[in-house]
């Protein structure tokens, strides 16, 4: 028998949303008539824009013609798509050559660790999107520092003053799970920290399309100095309902380098080489859809979807406040994050909502120790279902 990579045993046996799914299935077995409303996982529910579907159908049909057929896609992504991301998302601040198309932000936020030595310290916020922590554990990294977010710091963890070593820093704004956003000053302080310590920021911008408030940066590259220290991970999943289609990207600051034994290496070149060995790229059909997603019509479809989701999030926040709770987020993000009533555990509150209201939320404990006694509501749902779920929660008289 071959030996296991023992690091695989260091992560929880089951992914959070699989646990939740199992609890919901068990409830449905005993309550087959329950009308369950799912406000748990952040999965898209709105159909993709028609122009995007047509672009995919056309590219697929083209594959049946001698002129349109294409074999392996380029492992970095097709240039027109990389150029469109450069233009539409970064106003060309990040050149197309520094943008690498992928099958999503989850894959790249884990895979990016191929770049760093195993003894590099990792800093993550707490609460945190669990993928950042568990993929690092699988790689065998042991030095993980948790930066606590709480009601006092507005879930914007303080920038450490006692760390001198270079680190990998995970930041995610708008944040999952807290729905909070960061202003330019806060992000600049992280960029300065990274500059001072020789660290690299992995900035997960999967939810950037949800930012409504003016003055909030949609990209870390809107912040001075980020080109030296940041890698941004983007996605079409939440902005364009691509969760089931799977296209994202990684954008690398022009000057980000890592030090080797003899010299420094450009991260852009390291990642290009890593991709060449790890992937044969993303399907031509999906890339055609992503390209169309960035057209004016595709962006308009996204704007309408995002507006619907934000409308839901605002309804959620208002209702929870009416109930005397103190939610955060849900203004520039599709998540509302809230302390449970009477300090209940997040899992107890999850069970209460499921058993009394047939509503599924996500217990805060799933996002780390600082998530204890909190729950998250996802606004990725149809508005009539959200309204119905909130009515049921109101009747609970929390």
Among 73, 104, 130, 366, binds ligand PLP (CB under 6 A): 104
Residue nearest to ligand PLP (CB): 104
CA distances to 10, 15, 52, 279 from 306, rounded to whole Å, are 37, 27, 16, 31
Q: Examine residue 309 and tell whether it contacts ligand PLP (CB under 6 A).
A: no
Q: Rounded to the nearest 10 degrees, how much is the dihedral formed by the CA atoms of 233, 237, 243, 249?
A: -40
**Burial state string for 22-50 with b = 16 or more CB within 10 A and e = fewer than 16:** ebbeebeeeeeeeeebbbbebebebebbe
Rounded Cα distance, 81 and 264, in Å: 29
Least separation in angstroms between residue 204's CB and ligand PLP is 5
Distance CA 188, CA 179 (A): 20
Nearer to ligand PLP, 54 or 243 (CB): 243
Q: Assess 133 for contact with ligand PLP (CB under 6 A).
A: no
Report, in Å, the least distance between residue 21 CB and ligand PLP: 15
By CB under 6 A, name the one of 83, 204, 332, 365 that touches ligand PLP.
204
Residue 124 beta carbon to ligand PLP: minimum distance, rounded to whole angstroms: 12
As measured in angstroms, the least distance from the Cβ of 130 to ligand PLP is 10
257 binds ligand PLP (CB under 6 A): no
Task: Return the residue of 48, 105, 310, 316 that touches ligand PLP, per CB under 6 A.
Answer: 105
Contacts of 109 (CB under 8 A, 6+ apart): 129, 131, 132, 135, 170, 202, 204, 233
The one segment of 55-63, 104-112, 303-311, 356-364 that binds ligand PLP by CB under 6 A = 104-112
Tell me how far, at minimum, the Cβ of 338 lies from ligand PLP, in Å: 17
Q: Answer yes or no whether residue 279 interacts with ligand PLP by CB under 6 A.
A: no
SS3 string, 55-105, reads HHHHHHHHCCCCCCCCCCCCCCCCHHHHHHHHHHHHCCCCCHHHEEEECCH
The CA–CA distances, whole Å, from 236 to 181, 245, 395 equal: 19, 9, 37
Which x/- pattern over 139-178 shows residues binding ligand PLP (rule: CB under 6 A)?
A: ---------------------------------x---x--
Measured over the CA atoms of residue 33, residue 374, residue 20 and residue 248, the dihedral's sign is positive
Task: By CB under 6 A, tell whether 136 contacts ligand PLP.
Answer: no
Instruction: Choose one: 105-113, 145-153, 178-186, 343-351; the region binding ligand PLP (CB under 6 A).
Output: 105-113
Interface ranges with ligand PLP (CB under 6 A): 42, 104-106, 109, 129, 172, 176, 204, 206, 235, 237, 243, 248
């Amino acid at each position: 028998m071959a030996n296991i990579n023992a690091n695989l045993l260091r992560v929880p046996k089951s992914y959070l949303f699989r646990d939740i799914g199992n609890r919901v299935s068990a409830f449905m077995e005993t309550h087959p008539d329950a009308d369950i409303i799912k406000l748990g996982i952040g999965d898209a529910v709105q159909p993709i824009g028609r122009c995007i579907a047509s672009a995919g159908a056309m590219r697929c049909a083209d594959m049946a013609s001698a002129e349109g057929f294409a074999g392996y896609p380029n492992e970095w992504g097709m240039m027109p798509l990389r150029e469109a991301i450069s233009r539409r998302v970064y106003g060309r601040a990040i050149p197309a050559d520094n943008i690498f198309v992928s099958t999503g932000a989850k894959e790249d936020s884990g895979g990016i660790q191929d770049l760093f030595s195993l003894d590099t310290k990792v800093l993550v916020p707490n609460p945190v999107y669990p993928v950042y922590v568990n993929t690092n554990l699988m790689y065998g990294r042991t030095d993980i520092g948790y930066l606590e977010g709480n009601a006092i710091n507005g879930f914007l963890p303080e920038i450490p003053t006692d760390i001198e070593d270079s680190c990998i820093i995970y930041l995610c704004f708008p944040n999952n799970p807290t729905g909070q956003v960061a202003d330019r000053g806060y992000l600049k302080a992280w960029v300065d920290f990274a500059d001072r310590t020789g660290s690299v920021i992995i900035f997960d911008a999967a939810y950037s399309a949800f930012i409504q408030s003016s003055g909030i940066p949609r990209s870390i590259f809107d912040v001075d100095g980020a080109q030296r220290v940041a890698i941004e991970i983007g996605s079409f999943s939440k902005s364009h309902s691509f969760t089931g289609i799977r296209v994202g990207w990684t954008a690398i600051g022009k000057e980000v380098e890592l030090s080797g034994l003899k010299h420094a290496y450009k991260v852009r070149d390291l990642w290009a080489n890593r991709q060449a060995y790890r992937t044969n790229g993303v399907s031509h059909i999906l890339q055609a859809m992503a390209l169309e997603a960035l057209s004016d019509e595709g962006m308009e479809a996204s704007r309408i979807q995002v507006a619907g989701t934000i409308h839901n999030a605002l309804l959620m926040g208002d209702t929870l406040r009416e109930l005397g709770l103190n939610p955060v987020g849900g203004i520039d993000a599709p998540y509302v994050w809230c302390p449970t009533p009477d300090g209940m555990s997040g899992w107890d509150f999850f069970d209460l909502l499921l058993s009394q209201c047939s509503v599924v939320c996500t217990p805060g404990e799933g996002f780390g120790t600082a998530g204890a006694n909190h729950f998250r509501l996802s606004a990725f749902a149809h508005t009539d279902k959200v309204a119905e779920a909130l009515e049921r929660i109101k009747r609970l008289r929390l």
